[in-house]
Chains A and B, each alone.
Chain A
Amino acid sequence: MLEAAELECERGARTLFRGVSFVLRAGELLRVAGANGSGKTSLLRILCGLARPSAGEVRWKGQPIARLKEDYARELVYIGHAPAVKDDLTPRENLAIGCRLAGQETSGEALAAALERLGVPELPVRKLSQGQRRRAALARLLVSEAPLWLLDEPFAALDAEGISNLNGLIGKHVGGGGAIAFTTHQDAGIAATRVIELS
């Protein structure tokens, strides 16, 4: 489904990585590994179309994502470093807005059920801990129907229960024919189909 061809990323005068190529098929899990500053986040931002590679191309079902634009965005969920939840809103309001932006109609019950399953209390996000914020962001995965997930450090700030919950979600999505690319610098105890090591 997702295809990266000879990606190269430059930051300032420094080349972070070059010649990164892979194919991610339905039902596959790709782990992007590497030390801090090796370009994991940059690679993921290139994959979702937020940043442009200095060379190379990302293709979705054979078409360059630069041409697909919103049609590609509709097919993916990206969860970045920042949890994309607003401090002044409740997790449920945040989730509802996130779904709307992604062009998805979700019923209020589905939103509440997703948040409850991940154990996020219905308080203004300002009062939540980092781990709870992260869970509130990950709730997007439960309600989304997009086939491609791009997760940047999804395990950060999660406790053991959160990690096992997320591993369950990842397993279910991959089992159901979805594709996932995620970055992590720690071993999360989940078997990836493929690992890219950035150095």
Chain B
Amino acid sequence: MFDTARCVVQRDLLLALRRRSDVATALLFFVIVASLFPLGVGAEPNLLRSIAPGVIWVAALLSSMLSLGRLFAADHADGTLEQMLLGAVPLGVVVMAKGCAHWLVSGLPLVVIAPLIALQYDLAPGLYGVLALSLLLGTPVLSLIGAIGAALTLGLRGGGVLLALLVLPLYVPVLILGAGSVEMAGAGLEPDGQLLLLGALLVLAAAFAPWAIAAALRISME
């Protein structure tokens, strides 16, 4: 079972490696969106400092959305998804592996690059760690919740927009907790509460999302 999961992760990473432009697009989107705000709202340092966590988190949300459409659509189009449904291991394991691969490709780079982006906002030195940690806990949840939406909208006309309408409201708790933790730390308080809640969300999503994704895929594939 774990062999198959590893094989799926390796496959998706290999595919991402051979289609580097797809990965780069989502990442560049994040960088550009997050960089537009200082240009738009002006260079008032206090204002920038106060909007930084929210802006970076919203940019991360949108960038993670961007790559969701491809998560199952490509496999659906070439018939690979059917073979996954007919695989020897439960579909939940396969979709969990796909979710992991999606996070490694689209979430992890954000965690790494976000502190660099935060430099533009002159974030206080102690906050870079909190920002990275909140993204580290939050972005896997985005991948998992997003995968449910991607599975539900698979094969629908105008699925991309529908996916955004479906998934973005579900991202709200992650956004509030993620951006909130950095703001708390910025106000000199302990961000532990928010981070622990984010961790709890991650555990919940990891436990239940695979089921939901698998069920949604079976419905979409009929």
For the A-B complex, the count of residue pairs with Cβ-Cβ distances under 8 Å equals: 78
Is A48 interfacial (CB-CB < 8 Å)?
yes
Query: Could you pull out 10 A-B pairs where Cβ atoms are within 8 angstroms?
Result: A70-B89, A70-B90, A80-B82, A84-B79, A84-B80, A85-B80, A88-B15, A88-B19, A101-B7, A101-B84
Is B113 interfacial (CB-CB < 8 Å)?
no
The 7 A-B pairs of least Cβ separation, nearest first, read A103-B88, A82-B79, A84-B79, A88-B18, A100-B7, A101-B87, A73-B86
A15→B149 CA distance, assembly (Å): 30
A138→B7 CA distance, assembly (Å): 21
Tell me the A residues contacting B by CB distance below 8 Å: 48-52, 69-70, 73-74, 76, 78, 80-89, 93, 97-98, 100-104
A48→B82 CA distance, assembly (Å): 10
A51→B218 CA distance, assembly (Å): 8
Contact A86 B78 (CB under 8 A): yes
Chain A interface helix/strand/loop/mixed:
loop
Chain B interface helix/strand/loop/mixed:
helix
Binary interface encoding of chain B residues 74-117 relative to chain A, with 1 for a CB under 8 A from any of its CBs, else 0: 10011110111111111000100000000000000000000000
Question: Which residues of chain B have C-beta atoms less than 8 A from A88's C-beta?
Answer: 15, 18-19
Contact B86 A48 (CB under 8 A): yes
A82→B82 CA distance, assembly (Å): 9
Is B170 interfacial (CB-CB < 8 Å)?
no
A19→B89 CA distance, assembly (Å): 32
- Chain B: number of interface residues, binned into ranges: 20 to 34
Is B32 interfacial (CB-CB < 8 Å)?
no
Contact A83 B79 (CB under 8 A): yes
Q: Which residue from chain B places its CB closest to the CB of A93 in the assembled complex?
A: B14
Contact A86 B15 (CB under 8 A): yes
A76→B89 CA distance, assembly (Å): 14
Given A88-B15, A93-B14, are A50 and B86 neighbors across the interface (CB < 8 Å)?
yes
Given A86-B80, A100-B3, A100-B4, are A76 and B86 neighbors across the interface (CB < 8 Å)?
yes
